[in-house]
Chains A and B, each alone.
Chain A
């Protein structure tokens, strides 16, 4: 019983570390998207198995690769973990993703096989830029809403930005995420640096801010649209998922399957 409780706790720890893994295309945590199907810690509490499934069989395989490796990487960071097994289900490239991620080779070696000499950094950078733009738009709009003028916004320093509290809503969620990308990309470092620059590091101008925001909006609309589509398709796919006869487990609660979805009856395939 004590052992069970310990394992449950470790599983929860795994779940919360998986929040760090995002879908590159959507910039949303894979846990929020409901991609993670199962997390299990072995009896000896050294091995972690993570199973995941994407909204469709045809989801972009390079993203599947990225997510699988990111899942392995995040879980491996926990001190008590000796082995990680990551399994992707029901995907057109699943066999190769699973062999690649669990084969003990590093990501670049596995990936190179399928790249015709290309490397992944360009794709990663492209989606990081989109993520940056989406996060930035959210905080910019929140500042506008709070009455900051274009001039005040473009002159704002990182220190001043840090001092503005966003307590609720999307802006509260995106502010630390925006900030962490600013720092990790060295777009701002010291409290006196401008808080708002373009992805290529250029200062924004007060008169150009509206046009800049329009560009960010296009990126955000695209990402939200894809996010809505993915969530919907994911939900359709999950209708097939069954809650076992032993009753709901931890993942059923995490995935909001308890209470059951509208019209969903255990033991039937169709609703």
Chain B
């Protein structure tokens, strides 16, 4: 729960968090090292200096770290944990549903753990979707289209094999498809970050919610256009958020575009923990106003308290069927326990 200076309580759903193991012991090769190094560069580059972590802690943080950073020092009420396997890079996977679920056991009411699958696995992918539904009752999945899989260096949401998986998701009630568009390598003749497959998939699967993480960055402009065409496309703010500190004016321009095109009901806060921690992001976001000249260019659009509450929690609560009042009661009855020091 985030409490404003005026004493107002704001319900926070952190829409994009991870419990990963990127440590050298888990890395299979140079790609695994480079992957976590790249995350660490995002962390060091866009965090306020007092929020910087040591490399070792960043590579592999503890269960206690998660609880403290998100719920004790941090304002999150509920955190959505995403799974990302990267099996070609990490021996036991980068962040698996099993590891995240066992981390979440101490306070299951605080977490929504999403699964992941790779459509290129064919029948095995379908079996895996069943396995995740039966064992973890997942409501959503995280798709990373730039994942390497042997010779393949990426895939598209509108590949036939992917459509088979989404059909199954729809049938099993796995409704929330989080998408991260990383660089797809082959064919080189294609824009590596192209987001138009989102457009196809969202049109063809109207009953699924498509949450495009990082708002389609680095294709924010294309994403904005697609999101206006499709009612079931949402924007996750992870990676855009920390610009509030390093480049507040850019952040205002980005928010004005997103509010204008995508709308206040379809944007979701995400800290991208452990790249960033939610406390400073939420604090700064609550205080933030879009500069007047930028707002004026977009018909006076502004981040009012009401808009902020939607982005920080209410929009995600709707997607994940969280009854906010009931959840607040449940959470206040079981405060987060930290292991004895």
**Residues A82-126 near B (CB distance < 8 A):** 90, 92-93, 111, 114-116, 118-120, 122-123, 126
The chain B residue sitting closest to A120, CB to CB, is: B189
**Looking at the complex, which one of B34, B42, B45, B254 makes contact with A221 (CB distance below 8 Å)?**
B254
Q: B291: shortest Cβ distance to chain A, in Å?
A: 13
Please state if A115 and B189 are interface contacts (CB–CB under 8 Å): yes
The interface stretch among A29-37, A167-175, A232-240 is: A232-240
In terms of DSSP, what is the predominant structure of the interface of chain A?
helix
- The one of B37, B44, B187, B221 in contact with A118, judged by C-beta atoms closer than 8 angstroms, is B187
Task: Encode B228-266 as 1/0 by CB contact (under 8 A) with A.
Answer: 000000000000000100110010011001000100000
Q: Assess A58 versus B34: contact at CB under 8 Å? Given A118-B189, A120-B188.
A: yes
Q: Quick check: is B319 within 8 A (CB to CB) of the other chain?
A: no
Docked-complex contact A93 and B246, CB < 8 angstroms: no
CB atoms of B218 and A222 under 8 A apart: yes
Q: Is A225 an interface residue (CB 8 A)?
A: yes
Query: Given A92-B31, A217-B297, A221-B254, does the pair A122, B189 have CB atoms closer than 8 Å?
Result: yes
Return the contact of B218 from the options A92, A225, A235 (Cβ within 8 A). Answer: A225
| A63, A119, A228, A233: the one within 8 Å of B250 (CB) | A228
Instruction: Please choose the segment from B102-110, B124-132, B178-186, B324-332 that sits at the chain A interface, where 4 or more of its residues have CB less than 8 A away.
Output: B178-186
Cβ-defined partner of B38 (8 Å) among A58, A65, A115, A120: A58
Q: Is the CB of B217 within 8 A of A226?
A: yes
Task: List B contacts of A90 (CB < 8 A).
Answer: 34
Instruction: Kindly state whether residue B190 has any CB partner on chain A within 8 Å.
Output: yes
Interface residues of A in 196-247 (CB under 8 A from B): 214, 217-219, 221-222, 224-226, 228-229, 232-233, 235-237, 239
B37 touches A57 (CB 8 A): yes
Q: Are B55 and A65 neighbours in the complex by a CB distance under 8 Å? A: no
- When distances are taken between beta carbons in the complex, the residues of chain B under 8 Å from A260 are none
Check A25 against B189 for contact (C-beta < 8 Å): no
Chain A residues close to B by CB (< 8 Å) = 25, 55-63, 65, 90, 92-93, 111, 114-116, 118-120, 122-123, 126, 214, 217-219, 221-222, 224-226, 228-229, 232-233, 235-237, 239, 270
- A-B residue pairs, 10 tightest by C-beta: A118-B189, A57-B34, A60-B192, A232-B45, A62-B188, A222-B221, A236-B41, A115-B189, A226-B218, A222-B220
